[in-house]
Amino acid sequence: MPVFPLGAHADEGGVRFAVASTSADAVEVCLVDGLEGAPSEKRVALTERTFGVWHGYVEGVGPGQRYGYRVHGPYRPWDGVRANPAKILVDPYARRITGHVTDLRAARGWVDDPMTGPPSAVDSLGRVPLSVVTAPDEAAPGPRPDVPWSETVIAELHVRGYTKLHPDVPPEHRGTYLGLAHPAVIEHLCRLGVTAVELMPVTAIADEPPLLERGRANYWGYATLGFLAPHAGYASRAGAEIEEFRTMVAALHAAGIEVILDLVPNHTAEGGVGGTTLCYRGLDAPAYYALRSDGQDADITGTGNTLDAGSPTVIRLVCDAMRYWVTVMGVDGFRIDLASVLGRPRSGPFDPHAPLLTAIAVDPVLTGVKLIAEPWDATGEGYQVGGFGVAWSEWNGRYRDAVRDFWRGHGSIGEVASRLSGSSDLYRISGRRPWASINFVTAHDGFTLRDLVSYGRKHNERNGEDNRDGTDDNRSQNFGEEGETTSPVRAARRLATARAMLGTLLLSTGTPMLLGGDELWRTQRGNNNAYCLDDETSWVDWSMAGGALAAFTARVAEIRRSSPALHRDRFYRDGEVLWWHPSGRRLGGSDWHDTQLHTLGLLRGEWLLLLHAGTEAVAATLPAGGPYAPELDSTRADGVPTTSRPLLGGATITLPPRSLLLLRVP
């Protein structure tokens, strides 16, 4: 009897089931039939056990069969072992997962106290999600776009939120995989110069216990239940999530757009020991979770639990899941949430060569796709920007902070200059190239671009946590009025600053990442952590799709795309870049640490980029040489300069407040 692969695999006569559990005394696969409100089950013991894997073949069943596992064994919370056969468990390798937690009490494996109380005898069948047998895997169709890193422009999107309000998408497809595949949506992305969409989590999502207790849902999706199953809630038709996801990927690929998944292999939806028993905790908690010596979860993710990056069971699950998404579902890469956790086996010190990070980096399939690390976790020690190995690009939090600070008149010129030129101080020493820096100013976690220039503090009251959630380190500005404004002058200043930040992002060396909806001037009303708001707060409003900000973004993206000098794949060598002081000399010495200097110029190849973050206009003398022809002016709504007349080298020009000017040497 073959043991591997893990999961449920159908053939003409039945299904092979295989599930890992080193702590179980017995495992049953439960075949579930009947209505969801009144299910019935047939239990079949998996009598074969090989290398910690329980397996068996069940005849007469096939695709569409709902199933789960029941695990018999020790219940010793102080050792982290929590087998409870009253709880039906999802298959970690399920390709489809159906249903929701409808009864939190039934989903918990304990009574009275998770550490000292007895195991719960309440049967969870009918009140928790179930796995579904699927047809044999089909290889992803080709070809792939294979966009070089140096030409990549990323848009971070939420599958549901990006198209939920799109007027051209059929109502039944809004907020779904097929909605994102709609020609009108793809045309918009292409117009912006986007070459890759980075999708917020689309693996099967389950709401965590604190949200269930408050009657909320995890809109963002950073609460994984199954790592191989696409989230059913984003399908337009029940049970069609695999087919529709593959259709979406094919449509994006046909337009030359890659698909990058935001994967969350650092924790699960079960929460801490006081949470639910839906899958991993009931199967073999010590094999999946990093545990303390007293059996409690070691939490370095801020979610209650942490997957153990040193466990062979976890390493295999994560790598198998990633390969599946590439080879079967057709994706082109991954952004790993809280990726520092993957370098901290048993929640210990960070090691860029830790087993799971190494397994991913050397995998023969995964080496051919884009790998992006979010290089931090919920601890100070976990902040590892620049600390990953050569296979990884990274979300560059230092870029975000430096650009936000510069455009609000804070920080030093030296810091922002390093970020604009590719962050060689972070990535060169490891042998990486500038595109390893994923540059961003805004992301799902934090203010939108509009809110970044409209709010001085967070406004998360609607989340139900008394505004305690979300970061207070926003580095934002409100131009003298908190929130929306009726002042035309204030509104114009906000938009001008937003355009300057967008221009900075797209013209910096590195890989730019836009937050989908920023180009449509989207607001979350000051909420910088809208993780549980599945409503107009989080959905993209398309009423400004034909507006000036989208046109400005498209113009800058086209300028970037048209010139190799603006998306180079090598760091600059000495003499290739001229940093310019507005007084008409090179920057140097104490200039780099001058916190009162808010203007700088960058001459690289045929391009001169001038940035002025001051609140008053300033005179700037251009470098010798030239002439310099204006190509982009952020003070103009569409970015088109008022004149294309070349400016002579050595001429003095006036830079308006909060402005970006790009000039070209013909």
Catalytic residue numbers read: 337, 374
Cis status, amide bond into 85, omega within 30 of 0: no
Per-residue b/e over 298-317, b at no fewer than 16 CB within 10 Å? bbbbebbbbbbbbbebbbbb
Q: H or E stretch including 75? A: strand 75-76
- C-alpha angle with apex 108: 107 to 111, nearest 5 degrees? 140
Query: Looking at this protein, which amino acid is placed at residue 192?
Result: L
Of the candidates 476, 473, 469, 471, the residue with the CA atom closest to the CA atom of residue 455: 476
Give the whole-angstrom CA distance, residue 484 versus residue 661. Answer: 27
> 3-class DSSP state for residue 71?
strand
C-alpha distances in Å from residue 501, one per residue of 180, 446, 561: 27, 16, 18
Which two structure tokens, joined as six digits, stand for 488?
């035309």
Give the whole-angstrom CA distance, residue 347 versus residue 292. Answer: 9
User: Could you say which DSSP state residue 107 is in?
Assistant: H
Strands 577-581 and 75-76: unpaired
Give the whole-angstrom CA distance, residue 342 versus residue 361. Answer: 12
C-alpha distances in Å from residue 619, one per residue of 204, 374, 641: 56, 40, 18
Give the whole-angstrom CA distance, residue 25 versus residue 41. Answer: 21
